[in-house]
Chains A and B, each alone.
Chain A
């Protein structure tokens, strides 16, 4: 479970997050929906502890990310916005590096990598160097890297960016599989269809503020519009550009 409690963050004169509070529950996929620059990445970064909120608190499975950073992060897998790989290392070495830094035993690491390789369909390229990987292959390795320590919570920042239709479909299946395993999945996106198709709950963010926090169904009902897109535009007041 991931909890954001009254997070505030200011960069100079820009208020990137204003009193952001929401909960992403286990066994659910929560979507953080917002236009470009709405503050999604800032919120996620505060949740996985690379940004310190000016005020407020973020907890992973009830552990304060600022207070006990390492302990909280052990429960958390992160796929940041830029999920680059080490091109001179093989897919396996990329995953092993992160696993070792998580303090995993070599034996356990080997078994876990085999498991992920099978689940994500990486057997064909696991021993190849990352140089020349397709976007789809890269996202698989990056996801495996984020999941190698078997975390109960996964945060993904715009994971579908730059992926083709097939790769997006694959990713969707992967996220659903994570949900089925009872994990808490939180991902950000500015693509409406993606969120509508995948998420159990949607948190809509605009100008650093939470504008709505409900199920897709509830949001539609509340705004009285047939699609999430129209509901979204209504929530935002129809001013911000969304794809």
Chain B
């Protein structure tokens, strides 16, 4: 059996028996992302339910001054609580959280209203609280609608067409497809996929280099009549194998999560069938050897398990950088960006999620760029392994 395969088989078997590797490669890495993602989405669902389905609750003071307004609000399903409060009491009620939004109708309201002069209404809300801000916005919207209804009635009574008061009619056309809207949320997903991919090989990369040195088995291994490049190649190959398993598990978990999370309810159609997951696997596959060689190279320079762990945690962040840039500058899939590993995988997966067509050429460029960089890193790794300093 060639050296490469012997080393691969041994590393694969040894780590299959190691609980730490198994936990990180087969449990933590692949499941962490989908679970967090599921939680995030269901939280968003809960919030959107608050917005539209739950009736608006408002505390009103001095309601008897504005019977027309009360009828209008009740007619739109607003749950009103009548309570007589002074201005300061209203302020305190909102601050203490006893009421989320308080409407205060002052005594001069009826007189001004009848005279067709602006009649004041005070709306108390805490704009620093994102939850009550939404409720206040809804209340404001309703008050505005009531105001324009009254305004139109007044104009009509005076023989003026209400249309005169609407010089411009703005129609907003939202061109985002449901899948496109989902992308904001799904952008996280591509990162979780790449994270799971790296996590799968993290401990093996450490164990087969710094771990081997710390255990004291490295020198015996280096004294064997075999090429060092084959030794480290076999180790990287085993790391790749675990990364592929982790990637596959992670994608499977995502497909399951998507089946249970009703994304359509927040106006998103998630495009993650088993077929899409397979395409994702294909897109990410060239990133596997790149991640494996990068982690092995970094771990080869360290002396202990702990040291390697410290450095590799930073390596885990490396693929997030391009993705972070992409979302800050809202980069679109472009052929020229396909030469940047991790960014190209992110963009390609995002395009697939958005139901956009992807070019085969882009997929190839992305793969070749990742594999090319992996080759370069492998040459550097093999060169480092031939050095005397490898002994430590």
Contacts and interface: CB of A to CB of B under 8 A. Distances in A.
A71 interface: yes
Interface string A29-53: 0000000000000000100111110
B222 interface: yes
Nearest to B7: A101
Contacts of B223: 48-50, 73, 76, 78, 80
B225 A84 contact: no
Given A50-B388, A100-B1, A73 B224 contact: yes
A159 to B, nearest CB: 12
Interface residues of A, number: 36
Determine the interface band of chain B, counting residues with CB < 8 A from chain A. 20 to 34
A81 B219 contact: yes
Interface stretch (A86-94, A192-200, A218-226): A86-94
Nearest to B391: A50
Interface string A78-109: 11111111111100010001101111000000
Contact of B225 (A45, A74, A97): A74
A70 interface: yes
B215 interface: yes
A142 interface: yes
Given A52-B388, A98-B220, A86 B6 contact: no
Nearest to A78: B223
A145 interface: yes
B216 interface: yes
Contact of B6 (A83, A101, A145): A101
A145 B219 contact: no
Contacts of A98: 220, 224
Interface in B68-96: none
Contact of B220 (A80, A89, A103): A80
Contacts of B217: 82-86
B206 to A, nearest CB: 14
A69 interface: yes
Interface string B15-52: 10110000000000000000000000000000000000
Nearest to B214: A84
Contacts of A101: 3, 6-7, 221, 224, 226
Given A48-B223, A80-B223, A102-B225, A88 B14 contact: yes
Interface string B312-328: 00000000000000000
Interface string B126-155: 000000000000000000000000000000
Contacts of A84: 215-218, 220
A139 to B, nearest CB: 12
Contacts of A126: none
A2 interface: no
Contact of B219 (A74, A80, A93, A102): A80
A87 to B, nearest CB: 7
Contacts of A93: 10, 13
Given A73-B223, A81-B219, 7 more contacts: A71-B225, A80-B216, A82-B219, A85-B217, A89-B17, A100-B6, A102-B224
16 contacts: A50-B388, A51-B391, A73-B224, A80-B223, A84-B217, A85-B217, A86-B10, A86-B215, A88-B14, A89-B14, A89-B17, A93-B13, A97-B6, A103-B225, A129-B17, A145-B220
